[in-house]
Amino acid sequence: MSLEIISETGCFGGIQGTYQHTSEVLGCDMRFSVYTPPAAAHGQVPVLWYLSGLTCTEENATVKAGFQRAASELGLMVICPDTSPRGDHVPDDDAYDFGKGAGFYVNATEDPWAKNFRMYDYITKELAEFVGSVGMTDMSRQGITGHSMGGHGALTIFLKNRDTFRSVSAFAPIVSPMNCPWGEKALTGYIGSDRAAWAEHDACALLERGGATDANILIDQGLADNFLEGQLKPELFEAACEKVGQKLTLRRHEGYDHSYFFISTFIEDHLRHHADALK
């Protein structure tokens, strides 16, 4: 895979970079960002994947979430992928919650999306293989986190790849796309109207089917989040965890909304959560 450096600069003693490559899986050029901590100069480091929410690119969390300070201290590489395929030839939808910027971390099966919208394979196979091939990361120590749609991505990818990821967390995640308007629209559009197939992409359903994992799942949720009741519904995941005996730390925070001000406040706790599990 050939890589174009879009930017690289010092940040908390490490390097914050943004890179572009041609994705064969997605059939388009893609960007992603990587924070390389100072510890990477002395040996392989664990890697934390950060999956972003609706409308985001690789840039939003990179410039707003403020993870670099703790990542530098803890020696974590942090990778932020984009949220969908990109380019004029890639089909799109006028809505903010479908098409570009809204890939939902699934492999689409419906036309016209099936050709490009394969974010699940892109992240878990193509991009992961590239990251491993560079040699700076210890791929036996991977964690995954994300926000909103990216929290859905983090939880589902973790639950479907229990041997790959050792830790997971999420900020205000969509925990059950089968049971919220954003998810119903996306799954219908990308996967089709057979609801049985949707369970493959629903964190609650995956947990109930696969049973508890060894991990402690950390979720933070703001109580002033406009999407809390209509879309996010953390109580559904709480119930699923209880049902299968999954360890969950779900923290509800009064006064916090869905923004990066919420994420930046708690990102250090998440990085420590992952660093502890990835020791």
Q: Which of 258, 270, 273, 274 is catalytic?
A: 258
| DSSP sequence for 29-83 | EEEEEEEE-GGGGGS-EEEEEEE--TT--SHHHHHHT--HHHHHHHT-EEEEE-S
- Answer for the pair 94, 57: CB distance below 8 angstroms, yes or no: no
Q: Which of the following is catalytic: 148, 167, 169, 176? A: 148
What are the tokens at 217? 């799942």
C-alpha dist (Å) from residue 264 to 69, 81, 163, 251, 255: 11, 18, 29, 15, 14
97: region left, alpha or beta (phi > 0 left; psi from -120 to 50 alpha): alpha
Query: What is the binding site for a second copy (CB under 8 A)?
Result: 9-13, 15-16, 63-64, 66, 68-69, 222, 224, 253-257, 259-262, 264-265
Q: How far is the CB of 12 from a second copy (least distance, A)?
A: 5
* Separation CA 6–CA 90 (nearest Å): 21
Residue keyed to tokens 């923004």: 259
Active-site residue, from 72, 84, 225, 274: 225
In angstroms, how far is the first alpha carbon of the chain from the final one?
30
- 21 given a catalytic annotation: no
In the DSSP assignment, the letter for residue 118 is: B
Residue closer to a second copy, measured from CB, 183 or 222 = 222
Residue 29 appears among annotated catalytic residues: no
Query: Would you call 133 a catalytic residue per the annotation?
Result: no
Which one, 195 or 252, has the nearer CB to a second copy? 252
Shortest separation between residue 16's beta carbon and a second copy, angstroms: 5
Closest CB 34 distance from a second copy, rounded Å: 13
Q: What share of the chain is helix, strand, coil (3-state, %, to 5)?
A: 40, 25, 35
Question: Considering beta carbons, is residue 87 or 261 the nearer one to a second copy?
Answer: 261
Minimum CB distance to a second copy, residue 259 (Å): 6
In terms of CB distance, is 34 or 90 closer to a second copy?
34
Q: How far is the CB of 2 from a second copy (least distance, A)?
A: 24
Closest to a second copy by CB, 224 or 244: 224
In whole angstroms, give the CA distance from residue 135 to residue 164: 17
Provide the annotated active-site residues. 148, 225, 258
